């Protein structure tokens, strides 16, 4: 007989990061989809990553109890946990290393190559997400829908500052992302949909890039630049890199959302040609333009880049040169705000936004859409 195949779905969340935390995990028969086990637990005050790892461990333990000779696929919406458990990313945080070792030990108990780790979008991890929120609800006595903040396992909307945790002080410098939108192009001036298309900077855009480069020279401390692959961002990044003397890396996940058939057109033209499609797109972030990409898809792509950059450059300051909607999505993801909030976040060309990620504490939006260097007003968090 062929070995049994099991699927683990695991998740964890923290309402505050750190804050009240819990995990959830389910185990299913891969062939029939039958639910074989459910696990969830409240963890007290902990970080998102700590809770996510505990969800994975609970799922692995449950799978061992069901069939220690099975082939197992562990599915999670945490890119960090999946990449670290797969051995592709380093584990730099000391609190996570024992959890990774325990997970590796449980995985090896099934046999060599019997356990694989797979990233899945958040909307495909609903059962583990539900259990993680149930653990937090029962542990705190505050259901997520009534009052909560900063949960990676749910859709909390109250954005209370997570650094209200009494007595918390950072034990190490944060990982800082300095977000810069590219300079203007002809599409910017003409108010055209500008996504996956590749219009170059115009001279005004280059002037803006030089101005923000001077601003960053005064700031100092930037270790490197990570840029979208699109030319308007790459040229902006190159101008900044020349002024700062730092290297540039390219990350294609930082590209702008794809507007499909609407690319290069003005809003009135799109409204005339695709009135129904435009209305649906404006009303539902899961709907994409014809042949394009939805904002829900963009969110997952940006979250992947966000986690990758922070994990690879712990304790460093990284300048991220990207586009309007990805930069807004960085802020939205950090705040764990509803996806519909994207429409309320305006990002000017070559504006500066700054995000801090603490390994042992909250992630903090320091500033947003600051355009002082262009003669504009400073943005606020």
Catalytic residue numbers? 182, 256
165 neighbors 150 (Cβ within 8 angstroms): no
Q: Is 349 helix (H, G, I), strand (E, B) or coil?
A: coil
- Strands 224-227 and 317-322 turn out to be parallel
State how far the Cα of 133 lies from the Cα of 21, in Å rounded to an integer. 9
- C-alpha distance from residue 211 to each of 282, 350, 352, 366 (Å): 34, 9, 11, 21
Q: First CA to last CA across the chain, in angstroms?
A: 60
DSSP state of 266: B
Three-class SS of 180-219: EECCCEHHHHCCECCCCCCCCECHHHHHHHHHHHHHHHHH
What is the residue-wise DSSP string for 31-91? TT--EEEEEEEEEEEE-HHHHHHHHHHHHHHHHHHH-TT-EEEEEES-HHHHHHHTTSS--
Bridge-based pairing state of the strands 363-370 and 175-181: unpaired
DSSP H helices, 182-320, are 186-189, 203-219, 231-244, 267-273, 275-283, 295-312
User: Please, what sign has the CA dihedral across residues 143, 146, 148, 150?
Assistant: positive
Cβ pair 61, 106 in contact under 8 A:
yes
Gap between the Cα atoms of 338 and 167, Å rounded: 29
Nearest to 156, CA basis, from 358, 301, 332: 332
Tokens 């003669």 belong to 375
């Amino acid at each position: 007989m062929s070995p049994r195949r099991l699927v683990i779905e695991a998740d964890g969340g923290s309402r505050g990061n750190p804050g009240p935390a819990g995990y959830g995990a389910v185990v299913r028969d891969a062939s029939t989809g039958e639910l074989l086990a459910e696990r969830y637990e409240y963890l007290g005050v902990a970080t998102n990553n700590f809770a996510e790892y505990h969800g994975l461990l609970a799922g692995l333990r449950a799978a061992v109890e069901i069939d220690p000779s099975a082939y197992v696929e562990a599915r999670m919406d945490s890119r960090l946990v999946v990449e670290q458990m797969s051995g592709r990313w380093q584990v730099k945080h000391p609190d996570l290393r024992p959890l990774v070792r325990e997970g590796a030990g449980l995985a090896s108990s099934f046999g060599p190559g019997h356990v694989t780790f797979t990233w899945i979008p958040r909307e495909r991890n609903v059962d583990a997400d539900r259990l993680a929120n149930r653990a937090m609800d029962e542990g705190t006595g505050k259901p997520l829908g009534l009052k909560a903040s900063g949960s990676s396992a749910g859709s909390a909307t109250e954005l209370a500052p997570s650094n209200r945790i009494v007595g918390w002080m950072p034990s190490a410098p944060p990982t800082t992302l300095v977000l810069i939108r590219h300079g203007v192009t002809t599409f910017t001036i003409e108010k055209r949909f500008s996504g996956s298309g590749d219009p170059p900077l115009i001279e005004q855009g280059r002037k803006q890039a030089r101005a923000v480069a001077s601003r960053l020279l005064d700031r100092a401390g930037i270790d490197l630049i990570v840029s979208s692959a699109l030319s308007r961002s790459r040229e902006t990044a190159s101008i900044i890199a020349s002024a700062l003397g730092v290297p540039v890396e390219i990350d294609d996940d930082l590209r702008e959302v794809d507007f499909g058939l609407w690319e290069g057109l003005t809003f009135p033209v799109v409204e005339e040609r695709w009135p129904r499609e435009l209305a649906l797109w404006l009303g539902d972030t899961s709907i994409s333009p014809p042949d394009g990409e939805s904002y829900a898809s963009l969110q997952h792509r940006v979250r992947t880049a966000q986690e990758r950059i922070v994990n690879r450059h712990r304790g460093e300051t990284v300048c991220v040169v990207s586009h309007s909607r990805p930069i807004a999505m960085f802020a939205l993801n950090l705040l764990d705000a509803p996806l519909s909030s994207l429409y309320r976040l305006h990002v000017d060309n070559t504006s500066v936004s700054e995000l801090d990620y603490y390994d042992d504490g909250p992630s903090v939006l320091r500033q947003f859409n600051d355009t002082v260097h262009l003669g504009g007003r400073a943005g606020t968090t």
